[in-house]
């Protein structure tokens, strides 16, 4: 029987080669908690950009919700507002029963195969994993009045020198790599208007206890530069991601059909 709060439908895109990585235990082996430890600070950052811009919303969906931790934490923070989570991964779905907030509702299927429309659509560290990421973003656009994206900034000087972007590819499946400028341009090019954005301190927040010694040693320097010029810190040293609030652009062309 499916867990309470879980709608179990066979994931439509699970037969795709790219999607199989997330259901054949490869991703789970590399990331045993499916980033559950990072969901508290990510939920806080999402709440921050929504509340700073006084966004009015009654329901939300996280596409590619993984462990479901963000869905659960936002449902607890905003009682009475249903927060839906969609993911095609069999492994991720096994973690959803851990989320006990009454407003957390999970769906084991491909969100883009639905006609679902929500006040708020969230894509948190997702589209860098998608082969046709621009087609994916265009197809996602009509599904929400507001969209929140969290985008890793894997392209930075230190990372290029060390080849760190290949670590992101091998361990967490990033197929595309961004700077702040290219991330924002991607959203504009796919029919979104950027309302607001801010850097997030991934190096200081994510998996702090398991960080490499090099990262821990660089963090004081990163924090110092980031407090004065976060853009320079993101470009030179990395360790930052981008939280972006968008609205669909009125004059954006209708998305073309996306193959599965």
User: Strands across the sheet with 104-108, in order?
Assistant: 6-8, 104-108, 83-86, 60-63, 118-124, 144-152, 240-248, 192-201
**229: which 2 tokens?**
């010029």
Span 203-223, pLDDT tens digits? 777 665 555 655 666 667 767
| Domains of the chain and CATH, by start | 6-248 (3.40.50.150)
**What distance in Å separates the CA atoms of residue 149 and residue 132, rounded to the nearest whole number?**
17
pLDDT band at 91 (very low <50, low <70, confident <90, very high): confident
Quick one: pLDDT band at residue 172, thresholds 50, 70, 90? low
Checking if the pLDDT of 62 tops 90, the result is yes
| Predicted structure pTM score | 0.82
pLDDT in tens, 106-119: 999 999 999 999 99
Mean pLDDT lowest among 45-49, 95-99, 182-186: 95-99
Measuring CA to CA, which residue among 111, 109, 104, 183 is closest to residue 143?
A: 111
Torsion of CA 31, 104, 48, 40, to 10 degrees: -40
Mean pLDDT lowest among 31-35, 47-51, 126-130, 222-226 = 31-35
Q: What pLDDT, on the 0 to 100 scale, is given for residue 1?
A: 33
């Amino acid at each position: 029987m499916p867990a309470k709060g879980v709608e179990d439908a066979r994931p439509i895109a699970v037969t795709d080669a790219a999607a199989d990585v997330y259901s054949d235990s490869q991703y789970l082996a590399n990331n045993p908690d499916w980033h559950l430890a990072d969901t508290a600070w990510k939920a806080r950052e999402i709440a921050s950009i929504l509340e700073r811009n006084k966004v009015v919303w009654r329901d939300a969906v996280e596409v590619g919700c993984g462990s479901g931790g963000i869905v659960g934490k936002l449902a607890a923070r905003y009682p009475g507002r249903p927060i839906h989570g969609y993911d095609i991964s069999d492994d991720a779905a096994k973690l959803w029963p851990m989320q006990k907030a009454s407003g957390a509702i999970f769906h084991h299927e491909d969100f883009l195969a639905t006609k679902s429309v929500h006040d708020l659509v969230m894509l948190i560290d997702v589209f860098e994993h998608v082969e046709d990421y621009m087609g994916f973003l265009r197809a996602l656009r009509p599904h929400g009045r507001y969209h929140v994206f969290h985008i890793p900034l894997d392209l930075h000087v230190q990372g290029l020198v060390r080849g760190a972007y290949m670590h992101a590819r091998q361990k967490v499946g990033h197929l595309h790599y961004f700077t702040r400028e290219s991330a924002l341009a991607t959203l504009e090019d796919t029919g979104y208007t950027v309302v607001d954005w801010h850097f997030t301190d991934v190096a200081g927040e994510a998996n702090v206890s398991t960080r490499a010694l090099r990262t821990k040693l660089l963090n004081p320097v990163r924090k110092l530069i980031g407090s004065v010029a976060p853009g320079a810190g993101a470009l030179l040293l990395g360790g930052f991601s981008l939280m972006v609030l968008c609205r669909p652009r009125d004059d954006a062309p209708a998305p073309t059909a996306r193959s599965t």
